[in-house]
Each structure stands twice: as structure tokens, then as C-alpha cells.
């Protein structure tokens, strides 16, 4: 398997999927934090994670505060929410431009606009004058077709057209999604006391997913591929709107950063990152150093061996060859893994 890629191997018989195997290069990075103070671990996380480093670092920091029963000042909470939202929008835009398994590579102007936009979003939480910067982000989003993706020749309109063409050529069927939410934080916090939970998280009797579709569940998007892509576009637009509200002094969306002390010396944090709810749990010794640490990333839910992505594929009529592999990669994209995806169709025999 190529390093840094989530490899999806799909076994299809008569062009219908009968088995899916997911191979991931992701390892247990939480062990690196052991022996450090929460502050040292947060600094390490900011350097360690190439994707969503702010969310990961913040989760370490907030979990450490919870373990010590410290409550952050409201101004600090406001600044943290802004940092998460800026990173969320930036990371979703980055993936949309660079990771989309499209029929053609991204246009040079979209790549150039992305580079400038990411620089602005990374700097925005630390700058006093943000009006002009926000305007430049909004203009870039409009140029990509964020708020009007069903027409024109923008980046997002092309993605929309490609997904609609996929839907005309394969049959995914319908499933009812089960979304992870802030209401599940207590159950996850309790489950994370089991070291094995982080490797393949499961809530009893459920098959949950997290991410853009979960955040936009109230909007009532259909859960076809195009519906999930529309939810993703809406989620980016909502992040941009929330950033504008925060910059004007308004309140952050509910649950974007949450923490609790689960028992003396132990803390739990949830951060609603680009790809969904990110969970950290920390246990400190008497000197305030980390003796145990666990992380459950959004990818572990969505791409669980018996998770929502796999269940959506089983029984699907996906076609054959390169076109089928590309469709699987696009389906994976709308479930939004933390790394790139490579799909392979195996065992294509006709009974």
C-alpha cells in the first residue's frame, strides 16, 4: 500500500460489491505524548499533525485543562472557536481542490487562489484587522462556486456534475445515516477508558458517522452522493458565515470545543474539526505529566471495517474497472477521510 493513503479494496461479483477491505497507514501517535506535560504535548501535536494541527493541538490543550479542572476564560474560548473554524474551512477547501478524484487535475487558478486563501485563514485568528482578509476569502469561495455549485463552470460546479454523472451510472441504494453529535460525547468519553476503543470505535447498536453531513443533518440533505457533496458545500458556507459572526463578536456554534473532567487527573476533549468530532482523553500523574493518552479521529468512525462507508458499499452495483474505482474514491471523498484514498476493484468475475 502506498504510504499516506487509505487503500480501499473492493471485491465485486457481477459488478456488485460483496466485500470491502480498508488498509490504513495511520498508527498510534498518542504514545508520543506520554511523559510530557499537556502544554508540551500540545506543542508537539501542532508539529506532528500535518492535517488539522490546530484542532489536534487544541484538543490536547483542552483535555489537559479538564484533567486539572481548569476553566478557560470566555475570551479564550471565543478565540479557540475562531481558530477551529478557520482551520476547518481551510482544510475543507484544500481537500476540495487537491484531493478531489476528478476527471481532470485542478485548474491552476484554483490552486493559486487556494494558496492565498489558506495563508489568510491561518493568519486570521491572530490579526486585529480582519475585514479585508475575510472579504478575500469570501471572494475566493464565490469564484470556486461555493454558494452556487449547481450551475456555471466553477470548481464546485464541475465536481457536482461529475457526481451526478456517477449517480446515473451506478446504484448505491439508500441507507439511513446515524450521525455522531455533541450528545454522544459522554458515551464516547466513557468508552475511551478502554484502550482498544480508539483503534475501532463502536457505540452499542449503532453505526455512526461524523463530519459535514452530520453537522448539516438539520438541513435535510438527501444521503445520495450528490446530497452528501451538497452538504459538504453547505458546511463550508456555514463555517464561513460562523467566522463572520465570531469576528463581529458573536457566539460560536454549539459544541465546537467541549471538555470535561472525567475523574481526578483525567480529562476529555471534543473538537469539531474539519472532518468531524475529534476526541482526546488524557490521564495525568501526580506531577502533571501524561501517563496515558488516547485519540479517536473522525476517520476511525467513518472508515471503520464495519462502518458507514463500508456498509454503504456492500451490495452496491458499482460498474467495473477504472470508472468503478473512481466512483469508490469519490464516495470516500464525501465521507471525508483524514488522508488520500486509493481504490482497487478486485475479483471481477461474472457468474
What pLDDT, in 10s, does the model give residues 331-347? 999 998 888 899 999 86
Give me the pLDDT at residue 215, please: 95
Give me the pLDDT at residue 271, please: 98
Mean pLDDT confidence for 129-139: 82
On whether the CB atoms of residues 348 and 323 are closer than 8 A, the answer is no
Cβ count near 95 (within 10 Å): 19
| Distance between start and end Cα atoms, the chain | 29
Give me the pLDDT at residue 153, please: 92
Choice between 220 and 64, residue whose per-residue pLDDT is larger: 64
In percent, the amount of the chain with pLDDT more than 90 equals 75
Give me the pLDDT at residue 128, please: 63
* All domains in the chain, ordered by first residue: 5-349 (1.10.645.10)
Give me the pLDDT at residue 2, please: 36
CA count, 13 A, side-chain hemisphere, 120: 24
d(CA 106, CA 286): 52
- Residue 182: DSSP 8-state: G
Confidence of residue 350 (pLDDT cuts 50, 70, 90): low
- Per-residue pLDDT at 141 exceeds 50: yes
Cβ count near 112 (within 10 Å): 11
- Per-residue pLDDT at 127 exceeds 80: no
| Among the listed residues 228, 225, 314, 324, the one whose alpha carbon sits nearest the alpha carbon of residue 21 | 314
Choice between 25 and 202, residue whose per-residue pLDDT is larger: 202
Looking at the whole model, is its pTM more than 0.75?
yes
Confidence of residue 223 (pLDDT cuts 50, 70, 90): confident
Give me the pLDDT at residue 3, please: 45
Mean pLDDT confidence for 148-152: 93
Please report where in the chains the cell 485519540 appears, as a residue.
295
Amino acid at each position: 500500500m502506498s504510504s499516506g493513503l487509505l487503500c480501499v479494496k473492493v471485491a465485486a461479483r457481477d459488478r456488485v460489491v460483496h466485500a470491502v477491505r480498508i488498509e490504513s497507514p495511520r498508527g498510534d501517535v498518542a504514545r508520543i505524548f506520554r511523559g510530557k506535560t499537556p502544554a508540551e504535548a500540545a506543542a508537539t501535536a501542532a508539529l506532528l499533525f500535518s492535517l488539522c494541527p490546530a484542532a489536534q493541538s487544541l484538543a490536547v490543550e483542552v483535555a489537559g485543562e479538564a484533567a486539572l479542572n481548569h476553566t478557560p476564560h470566555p475570551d479564550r474560548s471565543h478565540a479557540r472557536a475562531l481558530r477551529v473554524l478557520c482551520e476547518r474551512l481551510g482544510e475543507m477547501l484544500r481537500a476540495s481542490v487537491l484531493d478531489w478524484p476528478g476527471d481532470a487535475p485542478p485548474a491552476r487558478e484554483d490552486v493559486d487562489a487556494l494558496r492565498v486563501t489558506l495563508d489568510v485563514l491561518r493568519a486570521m485568528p491572530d490579526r486585529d484587522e480582519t475585514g479585508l482578509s475575510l472579504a478575500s476569502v469570501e471572494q475566493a469561495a464565490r469564484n470556486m462556486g461555493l454558494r452556487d455549485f449547481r450551475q456555471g463552470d466553477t470548481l464546485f460546479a464541475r465536481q457536482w456534475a461529475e457526481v451526478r454523472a456517477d449517480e446515473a451510472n451506478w446504484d448505491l441504494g439508500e441507507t439511513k445515516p446515524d450521525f455522531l453529535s455533541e450528545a454522544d460525547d459522554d458515551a464516547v468519553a466513557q468508552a475511551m477508558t478502554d484502550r482498544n476503543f480508539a483503534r475501532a470505535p463502536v457505540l452499542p447498536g449503532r453505526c455512526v458517522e461524523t463530519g459535514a453531513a452530520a453537522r448539516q443533518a438539520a438541513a435535510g440533505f438527501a444521503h445520495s452522493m450528490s446530497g452528501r457533496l451538497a452538504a459538504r458545500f453547505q458546511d463550508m458556507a456555514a463555517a464561513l458565515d460562523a467566522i463572520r459572526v465570531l469576528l463581529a463578536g458573536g457566539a460560536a456554534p454549539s459544541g465546537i470545543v467541549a471538555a470535561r473532567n472525567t475523574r481526578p487527573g483525567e480529562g476529555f476533549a471534543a473538537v469539531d474539526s474539519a472532518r468531524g468530532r475529534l476526541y482526546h482523553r488524557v490521564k495525568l500523574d501526580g506531577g502533571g505529566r501524561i501517563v496515558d493518552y488516547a485519540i479517536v479521529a473522525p476517520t476511525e468512525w467513518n472508515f471503520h471495517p464495519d462502518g458507514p462507508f463500508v456498509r454503504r458499499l456492500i451490495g452496491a452495483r458499482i460498474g467495473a474497472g477504472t470508472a468503478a474505482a473512481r466512483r469508490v474514491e469519490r464516495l470516500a471523498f464525501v465521507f471525508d477521510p483524514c488522508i488520500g484514498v486509493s481504490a482497487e476493484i478486485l475479483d471481477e468475475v461474472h457468474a
